């Protein structure tokens, strides 16, 4: 019989606690949890733009986001971004909607054509 | 016994105090003032719902909480008095106005344009801020300066109202949650005068202004342009600010923010009570509580008393802060029932400089050597401001000490804006009492028949200094290959019309009688006044993303002046307003609603454009002569680069699409 090293029990308990916390905080196991990150928002915009539905222009870079959960899997964020077509240093703001899906985040409103 | 006397005395004192309070409550109060300190006015302005008392109703209006910007947070102290009537922001030339605008407005289920496709988000009640009439930059935020100038291409949402509906793709403007910071530098060469601030959120501006969101801005003092001691007048002529607002309330206590132009009959019915600050709705019967009221207030007060000490009189700075109402203002002598003479000192924030060809005040000794503009009524379209000298005059127009009991009524005489237009009702706005000024100051001064006004209008016709001062801000809008100067000798023509056949798929009840859609059209004219092929844009509704016009400043970003012809082919009056500049009328001028020869001594930021005679559904109809328009020709100096707008300031029309985006860029 091999005894577990001293402290292993504590580690196991911590892992179990962490997993339980993840399950509790994540509404849908297996998806990203919490607010969307800047990278996630950028990816959602890139994906929406690739659909070429005419709603989005090229060259937007997300710099900042302040998000909140509105409903299960639905978030809205105020974002700050720059545009390659904009004047130097120009900041843009928008309020966007994002849905969390199994494969990641989907942009459902906002990030549209801007002034140049 | 003594105790009884004491109690009676106390009771009498209490009654007198209450009576005194009641009496003083009817006196017109000045708007609360926030003045700049060390050339900076740094404010927190919170747009929020607030109880408003306008007897017999107590309803929830939308007001601006205004306070000096606290070190932390986005709330004003609880002691802040929200003022439905409007606040005055007092500035000086060269000051910086810093505002954090916070949106705490509720959702607005009444806003009719939320039913327009793509505008569903309007139910969230977004707002913003425009400093109307000011010659300031509309800059956008940058990494170095994340504030906005006088820029209407940004909307602020109240996060508590929820997110925009899925599928909202709002092109061409910034959208923010919670608050927006504005920083507006006022050039040192900016005119002294009266301006105002109000929301400018396309599609819902009418609702917000009708609910109470508006205040005034003043730059400098009237003594900057009215000659006083050097002209035999006391140093300080009393100055009064009058903010005209209107609000419709229906039983039991509900503000109707989608205003109905036909809420009241044009004239009072014989069995209805006097219209002292309000008129009864056409819906309902009798004078009971089942009838709504359309309130017409001065500084938020219903039919206040105004005491004017004569012969010195007062300068009244009047702002039409109504969303849609055009006022025809008269000061009617209670004894003679004649309309009293008023001298116009300033129009739209710029003091006038009349010259010999401008009609002078009639029958006044010495008037020839001292040109002045006098009127007996003032037609003020929405957004216009007029400053007038009011005093008691004898039958020859000479300022005199008033007889005992001299009084007048300050009234909206009613205004009809064409066969397809509106009939703005007759309402008495305030009672005026003239008292004799027996002060030593008045006794030692001989009051001249007209004030001498050293107006700034002529100098500002070519605002070179303003362009110099805004050089850095203008440079932030670099030249664009798509923006070109107008060819020499060419001019622009702007068409105003309703848009027939534009059917709202889900009409709102307030749309009764029209489809609620209006637009502007455009064409360039050559040196012979003929349309330049390929430039015509038919009358269409506002589009944030597509500038109707794109032009550049002159060499080295000097001002460039353009000639525009405003052609209204609809059957109702409109008024033309443009941001970031002032203009003069070319062939004739309109002063207080009266057409007079142009003396180049008056600048406007809005001007009425009379309805056409006959029926034109389109520009083609107009070209075919099916209606006769009454074009207004204006010269507009552009000295400020940026993206801004021109539009009809009857906000039912503006919200309905009668607005266009103009882009002005730095010179190459």
**A66 touching chain B per CB within 8 A:** yes
B485-490 contacts at long range (C-beta below 8 A, 24 or more positions apart): B485/B551, B485/B552, B485/B554, B485/B560, B486/B524, B486/B551, B486/B560, B486/B562, B487/B526, B488/B527, B489/B526, B489/B527, B490/B524, B490/B525, B490/B526, B490/B527, B490/B532
Q: Tell me: the pLDDT tens digits for B496-512?
A: 999 875 544 444 444 44
Q: Could you give the CA distance from residue B392 to residue B402 in angstroms, rounded to a whole number?
A: 6
Least confident stretch, B212-226, B362-376, B592-606 = B362-376
| pLDDT confidence of residue B229 | 84
Helix residue ranges, H only, B427-498:
440-444, 457-460, 464-469, 471-475
Q: Tell me: the pLDDT tens digits for B398-448?
A: 889 999 999 999 999 999 999 999 999 999 999 999 998 776 555 555 688
**A95 touching chain B per CB within 8 A:** yes
Secondary structure class of B621 (helix, strand, coil):
helix
Contact indicator for B628, B612 with CB cutoff of 8 Å: yes
**B141 touching chain A per CB within 8 A:** yes
What predicted TM-score, i.e. pTM, was given to this entire model?
0.90
Contact indicator for B429, B319 with CB cutoff of 8 Å: no
Write down the mean pLDDT value for chain B.
89
Q: Tell me: the pLDDT tens digits for B26-76?
A: 999 999 999 999 999 999 999 999 999 999 999 999 999 999 999 999 999
Instruction: Count other C-beta atoms under 10 Å from residue B204's C-beta.
Output: 30
Name the nearest CA neighbour of B611 among B597, B623, B594, B627: B627
B139 vs chain A: nearest CA distance in angstroms? Answer: 10
B663 vs chain A: nearest CA distance in angstroms? Answer: 10
Name the nearest CA neighbour of B397 among B427, B420, B366: B366
Name the nearest CA neighbour of B333 among B431, B436, B438, B447: B431
Cross-chain CB nearest to A115 (options B165, B172, B176): B172
Burial (CB count within 10 angstroms: exposed 0-12, middle 13-18, buried 19+), residue B7: exposed
Q: Tell me: the pLDDT tens digits for A83-101?
A: 988 888 899 999 999 999 9
Cross-chain CB nearest to B163 (options A95, A115, A116): A95
CA nearest to B154 within chain A: A93
Cross-chain CB nearest to B169 (options A87, A89, A112): A112
Q: Could you give the CA distance from residue B326 to residue B246 in angstroms, rounded to a whole number?
A: 11
Give, for B96, the enclosing helix (H) or strand (E). strand B96-103
Q: b/e per residue, B337-371, with b = 16+ CB within 10 A?
A: eebbbbbbbbbbbbbbbbeeebbbbeebeebeebb
CB contact under 8 A, B172 and A95: no
State the pLDDT confidence band at B167, using cuts at 50, 70 and 90: confident
For chain B, how long is the longest CA-to-CA vector?
98
**B175 touching chain A per CB within 8 A:** yes
With a CB cutoff of 8 Å and minimum separation 6, the contacts of B531 are B493, B523, B524, B525
DSSP B501-524: T---SS--GGGTTS-S-EEEEEEE
Contact indicator for A109, A75 with CB cutoff of 8 Å: no
**A15 touching chain B per CB within 8 A:** no
Q: Could you give the CA distance from residue B68 to residue B542 in angstroms, rounded to a whole number?
A: 36
CA nearest to B165 within chain A: A109
Secondary structure class of A23 (helix, strand, coil):
helix
Neighbouring-strand partners of residue B494: B522, B566
Q: Could you give the CA distance from residue B519 to residue B617 in angstroms, rounded to a whole number?
A: 12
Q: Scanning the structure block, which residue is given the tokens 């916390």?
A: A21
B172 compared with B316, residue with greater pLDDT: B316
CB contact under 8 A, A112 and B170: yes
Evaluate if residue B647 carries a pLDDT over 90: yes
Contact indicator for B588, B596 with CB cutoff of 8 Å: yes
CB contact under 8 A, A97 and B171: no
């Amino acid at each position: 019989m091999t005894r577990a090293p001293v402290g292993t029990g504590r580690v196991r308990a911590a892992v179990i606690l962490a997993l339980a916390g993840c399950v509790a905080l994540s509404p849908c196991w297996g998806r990203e949890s919490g607010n969307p990150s800047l990278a996630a928002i950028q990816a959602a915009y890139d994906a929406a733009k690739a659909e070429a539905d005419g709603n989005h222009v090229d060259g937007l870079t997300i710099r900042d986001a302040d998000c909140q959960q509105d409903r299960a899997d639905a978030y809205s964020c105020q974002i700050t971004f720059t545009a390659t077509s904009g004047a130097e240093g120009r900041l843009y703001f928008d309020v966007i909607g994002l849905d969390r899906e199994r494969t990641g985040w989907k942009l459902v409103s906002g990030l549209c054509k801007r002034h140049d | 016994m003594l105790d009884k006397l004491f109690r009676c005395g106390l009771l009498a004192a209490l009654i007198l105090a209450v009576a005194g309070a009641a009496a003083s409550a009817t006196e017109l109060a000045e708007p609360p003032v926030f003045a700049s300190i060390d050339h900076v006015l740094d404010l927190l302005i919170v747009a929020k719902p607030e109880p408003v008392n306008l007897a017999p109703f107590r309803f929830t209006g939308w007001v601006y909480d205004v306070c000096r910007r606290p070190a932390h947070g986005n709330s004003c102290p609880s002691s802040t008095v929200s003022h439905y009537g409007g606040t005055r922001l007092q500035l000086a030339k060269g000051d910086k106005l810093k505002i954090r605008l916070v949106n705490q407005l509720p959702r607005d289920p009444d806003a009719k344009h939320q039913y327009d496709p793509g505008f569903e988000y309007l139910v969230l009640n977004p707002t913003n801020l425009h400093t109307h009439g000011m010659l300031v930059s509309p800059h956008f935020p940058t990494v170095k300066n994340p504030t906005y100038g006088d820029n209407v291409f940004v909307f602020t949402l109240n996060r508590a109202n929820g997110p925009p509906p899925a599928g909202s793709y709002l092109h061409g403007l910034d959208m923010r949650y919670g608050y927006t910071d504005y920083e507006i530098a006022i050039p040192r060469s900016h005119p002294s005068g009266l301006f105002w601030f109000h929301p400018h959120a396309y599609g819902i501006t009418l609702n917000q202004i009708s609910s109470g969101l508006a205040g005034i801005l003043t730059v400098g003092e009237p003594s900057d342009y009215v000659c006083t001691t050097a002209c035999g007048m006391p140093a300080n002529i009393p100055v009064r600010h009058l903010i005209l607002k209107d609000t419709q309330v229906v039983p039991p206590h509900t503000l109707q923010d989608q205003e109905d132009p036909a809420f009241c009959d044009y004239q009072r019915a014989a069995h209805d009570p006097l219209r002292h600050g309000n008129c009864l709705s056409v819906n309902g019967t009798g004078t009971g509580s089942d009838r709504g009221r359309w309130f017409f207030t001065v500084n938020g007060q219903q039919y206040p008393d105004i005491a004017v000490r004569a012969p010195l009189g007062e300068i009244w700075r009047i702002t039409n802060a109504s969303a849609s109402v055009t006022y025809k203002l008269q000061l009617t002598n209670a004894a003679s029932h004649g309309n009293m003479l008023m001298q116009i000192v300033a129009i739209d924030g710029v003091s006038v400089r009349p010259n010999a060809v401008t009609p002078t005040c009639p029958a006044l000794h010495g008037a020839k050597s001292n040109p002045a503009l006098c009127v007996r009524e003032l037609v003020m379209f929405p957004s216009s401001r007029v400053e007038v000298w009011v005093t008691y005059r004898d039958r020859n127009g000479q300022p005199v000490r008033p007889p005992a009991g001299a009084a007048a009524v300050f009234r909206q005489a009613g205004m009809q804006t064409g066969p397809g237009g509106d009939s703005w009702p007759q309402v008495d706005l305030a009672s005026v009492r003239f008292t004799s000024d027996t002060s030593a100051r008045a006794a030692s001064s001989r009051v001249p028949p007209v004030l001498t006004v050293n107006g700034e209008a002529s100098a500002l016709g070519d605002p070179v200094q303003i362009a110099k001062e805004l050089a850095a801000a203008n440079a932030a809008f670099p030249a664009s290959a798509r923006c070109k100067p107008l060819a020499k000798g060419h001019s622009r023509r702007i068409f105003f019309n309703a848009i027939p056949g534009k059917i709202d798929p889900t009409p709102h009840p307030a749309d009764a009688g029209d489809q609620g859609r209006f637009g502007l059209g455009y064409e360039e004219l050559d040196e012979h006044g003929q349309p330049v092929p390929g430039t015509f844009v038919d009358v269409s509704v506002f589009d944030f993303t597509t500038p109707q016009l794109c032009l550049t400043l002159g060499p080295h970003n000097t001002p460039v002046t353009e000639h525009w012809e405003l052609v209204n082919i609809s059957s109702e009056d409109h008024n033309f307003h443009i941001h970031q500049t002032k203009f003069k009328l070319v062939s004739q001028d309109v002063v207080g609603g009266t057409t007079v020869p142009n003396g180049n001594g008056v600048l406007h930021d809005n001007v009425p454009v009379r309805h056409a005679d006959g029926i034109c559904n389109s520009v083609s109809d107009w070209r075919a002569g099916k209606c006769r328009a009454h074009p207004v020709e204006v010269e507009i100096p552009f000295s400020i680069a940026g993206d801004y707008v021109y539009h009809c300031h009857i906000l039912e029309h503006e919200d309905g699409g009668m607005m266009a985006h103009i882009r002005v860029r730095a010179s190459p």
